[in-house]
Amino acid sequence: MENAGYLKDEKKQQALLAAVVVTGITIMLNNTTVSIALPSFITIFNTDIRMAQWIVVGYMLSLGMAMPLASYFGERYSYRKLFLTALAAMGLSSLACASAWGLYSLVFFRIVKGAVSGVLIPCTMTLLYRNIPKEKQPYYLGVTVMSHSLGVAIGPSIAGMLLEFSSWHILFLINVPMVALALYLSWRSLPVDLGQNREPMDFAGILMVAVGTGLVLIGFTNVQVWGATSPKFIFFLAVGLLLSLLFIIRETNSNQPILNFKVLKYRPFAIALLINCVIAMTLGINGILVAVYVQTILGYSPMVSGLILILPSVAMVMGNVASNYLFNKVSSKILVFSGLMIAAIGNYALSRAGLSTGVVAITIYMSIRLLGMGIVKMPLTDYGLGNVPSSLTGHASSMFNWGKQIVSVISINILTVVLSINTARYYAEAGYSGEIIQGTASYAIAAVQAVNDDFLYLTFFMVGSALLSLLMDGNSNTSTFKNQRAVLKN
């Protein structure tokens, strides 16, 4: 294994885990604090949800564009240099977001921040799988996943309270001390490696994957405005897909690929990637739907909306704990299937909520959903990344997160379009006419039915993911590739 001396040093391993944990919490805060504040941004910048969603979607778009490049730059310049540079850039972009003078400048700085986060997310997983002994990897991964859940748990509550008593700028300033701590821990703990600069920079490949991914995501982001049959949408989609296809062909024949598609030859990883992408269809839009339902429809403040999410987020942490405890007792297949079915039950319950549904009921439904998701993430990630050689974990992590991000952004925009279309349809069916105005009883009657429809679609995706999990190897939750390699050595 790589970094043999490092792997024997328990203190360095724990310090590395601390750096990854703090970074993970910071990234989750970037996501959750802004998502729940979306209705507030609509009021602050006097805009509509279609424009305000760019604060979230722009971040996710650049996140997806940067993810496939993480392994390439990490191997070329070293993961230590890449991780430290990306953390510093995150701190600067947080300050820039806090200093934004309007909606468009905020969206721009969020796009920059998304690109930086897109590099960091795959790196965290790669650092664990490259530098931690294989017998400790599930435990360290479990702790990392729990840290992500902690960010999900405290993010909405912090955002709600800050928006209640302070200005929106503070949402981004709170990231700065977290980034400083992550930088310090990373500087002290990350192993030193020199990287590999043997070949010239593959600018053509970088351009293909970044522009191709960007065009596809921009096309779907604007599908509501342009229309699914408009020449502009078809152009963006066709050119984006063509560039992506050319990128795949180019990298398949490259000696030092930006993204090594050979990882797809490992069946467990391919199955985990497919499940992960289907699950991603339910992730991004869920937070937006909850914010719209609780704040825009029911009329609660951002603070109350954030508090409502505390118990569900605690349930997610409990799911992580349960998953870690059961990991050596039952197969990953059982854990993933069970978790997804539990999440589907929670999503279905949310699809039945109405204007008279109490906050307590919504909290329970969300708790069931996130309990299931908490059970799923660690065994699914370990099943996928743990079954490829350590030399390919960087590429596997980048592809795992890249696929999830692309599907998540596309699904957010499609389901946001569906939400708007269904709201207008239910508004007309109820006998109302004229402009749909948020905060009115007529809007609430129409919007709650549209939100319920989206939650029902998410339920179908959850059940589909659970069915796909039946393809997983049910004999063991250990890393198949590594076990086979050990058997061959013996």
Residue with the bigger pLDDT between 308 and 340: it is: 340
301 and 399 part of one domain: yes
291 and 303 part of one domain: yes
Cα separation of 275 and 280, whole Å?
9
From first CA to last CA, the distance across the chain in angstroms is 17
Residue 359 belongs to domain with CATH number: 1.20.1250.20
180 and 211 part of one domain: no
The predicted model scores a pTM of 0.77
Round the CA-based radius of gyration of the chain to a whole number and report it: 22
With respect to residue 437, please indicate whether it lies within any of the assigned structural domains. Answer: yes
19 and 69 part of one domain: yes
Tell me, what amino acid is at 342? I
With respect to residue 197, please indicate whether it lies within any of the assigned structural domains. Answer: no
Looking at every residue in the chain, the average pLDDT score rounds to 83
With respect to residue 196, please indicate whether it lies within any of the assigned structural domains. Answer: no
The domain in which residue 240 lies consists of: 203-255
pLDDT at residue 198, as a whole number: 62
241 and 265 part of one domain: no
pLDDT at residue 489, as a whole number: 39
pLDDT at residue 246, as a whole number: 93
pLDDT at residue 490, as a whole number: 37
Q: What is the pLDDT of residues 404-446, one digit of tens each?
A: 888 887 887 788 888 888 888 888 888 877 777 777 788 888 8
234 and 370 part of one domain: no
With respect to residue 423, please indicate whether it lies within any of the assigned structural domains. Answer: yes
Encode the chain in three state secondary structure: CCCHHHHCCHHHHHHHHHHHHHHHHHHHHHHHHHHCCHHHHHHHCCCCHHHHCHHHHHHHHHHHHHHHHHHHHHHHHCHHHHHHHHHHHHHHHHHHHHCCCCHHHHHHHHHHHHHHHHHHHHHHHHHHHHHCCCCCHHHHHHHHHHHHHHHHHHHHHHHHHHHHHCCCCHHHHCHHHHHHHHHHHHHHHCCCCCCCCCCCCCHHHHHHHHHHHHHHHHHHHCHHHHCCCCHHHHHHHHHHHHHHHHHHHHHHCCCCCCCCHHHHHCHHHHHHHHHHHHHHCCHHHHHHHHHHHHHHHCCCCHHHHHHHCHHHHHHHHHHHHHHHHHCCCCCHHHHHHHHHHHHHHHHHHHCCCCCCCCHHHHHHHHHHHHHHHHHHHHHHHHHHHCCCCHHHHHHHHHHHHHHHHHHHHHHHHHHHHHHHHHHHHHHHHCCCCCCCCCCCHHHHHHHHHHHHHHHHHHHHHHHHHHHHHCCCCCCCCCCHHHHHHHHHHC
With respect to residue 432, please indicate whether it lies within any of the assigned structural domains. Answer: yes
238 and 275 part of one domain: no
Q: What is the pLDDT of residues 189-230, one digit of tens each?
A: 888 775 666 667 788 888 898 899 889 888 887 777 788 889
Query: Domain count of the chain?
Result: 2
Confidence class of residue 33 from pLDDT cuts 50, 70 and 90? confident
With respect to residue 198, please indicate whether it lies within any of the assigned structural domains. Answer: no
Tell me, what amino acid is at 13? Q
Cα separation of 357 and 350, whole Å?
10
Cα separation of 356 and 267, whole Å?
47
363 and 261 part of one domain: yes
Rounded percentage of the chain residues whose pLDDT exceeds 70: 91
106 and 164 part of one domain: yes
Given a cut of 60, whether residue 483 has pLDDT beyond it is no
With respect to residue 224, please indicate whether it lies within any of the assigned structural domains. Answer: yes
339 and 229 part of one domain: no
